[in-house]
Amino acid sequence: MKYNQTTTLTIITTTTTLLLVVSCFVKFTSSEMIFKDRKEAGSVLANEFKEYQNSLDTIVVGLPRGGVVVAYPIAKKLGLPLDIVVPRKIGAPFHEEYAIGAILEDGSGYFDNDVINTYGISSEYIKQESHKQVQEAQRRLRVYRGSRGPQDFSGKRILLIDDGIATGSTMHAAITSIRNKGAKEIIVGVPVGPKDTVTNMKPLVNRFVCLSVPAGFRAVGQFYTNFDQTEDEEVLELMNDPAVCKNVESHTPAQ
């Protein structure tokens, strides 16, 4: 199913039906949604979270870089603050795009021990790669947040957003991090993902929203017309948008 501006109402109707099937019965459809770009995907995804509009206990959290672009229209439409967590993928030594785990800026993370044991990946490689990715996660946090401190997740509902999900390693690490920060509820929202990963991830959170679960999933990028790499400058621009910053201020308790 192709997605464009002229089919918005049809897609939203189809999406609602799909989500009821996915969320309630964990059954899936092979129909596909093709998004123009990440911002369009975020605009469609925002319709699934209307009940949280202007909610004082809800924060939208994007996974940089591409997930921030999807999260931005959700935060802006719903009048919610936008923040980030920065899990970094740990790729296999034989194929860096094949995730064996992910790690956060504080050194916590998630590792797929079955994959690590199957391929005999050494602890020394994991240690070196983890150190490198922790440094990159810390750099991104400094750059993207600037002088603005992190939101307090304690007792909050978190809408955790990415531009798609493949193996689920980075999302798994992000969920663990947010739960450790005391969130009362975690809701994951992604435009697209494969059936097996969505099924495995769903029990980890309170609600899992995936707009499209296509049978022919190979990579997230195949379901976008434009899936160019997101640069630091774009993330900075979105994080510092006055509308989103205003949302942050309105959700910050007076001292």
Q: Does residue 92 have a pLDDT over 90?
A: yes
Helix axes 123-145, 232-239, angle to 10 degrees: 50
State whether residue 216 is helix, strand or coil.
coil
The 3-class SS string of 48-70 reads: HHHHHCCCCCEEEEECCCHHHHH
Q: Give pTM, 2 decimals.
A: 0.84
At residue 243, the pLDDT reads 82
21-72 pLDDT per residue, tens: 333 333 344 468 999 999 999 999 999 999 999 999 999 999 999 999 999 9
Is the backbone of residue 180 left (phi > 0), alpha (psi -120 to 50) or beta?
Answer: alpha
Give CA–CA dist 170/208, Å, rounded. Answer: 15
187-225 pLDDT per residue, tens: 999 999 999 999 999 999 999 999 999 998 999 999 999
105-142 pLDDT per residue, tens: 989 899 999 999 999 999 999 999 999 999 999 999 99
Q: Phi, psi (5° rounding) for residue 138?
A: -65, -40
Size of the chain in residues: 255
Q: Are 96 and 121 in contact (CB under 8 A)?
A: no
248 vs 120: which has the higher pLDDT: 120
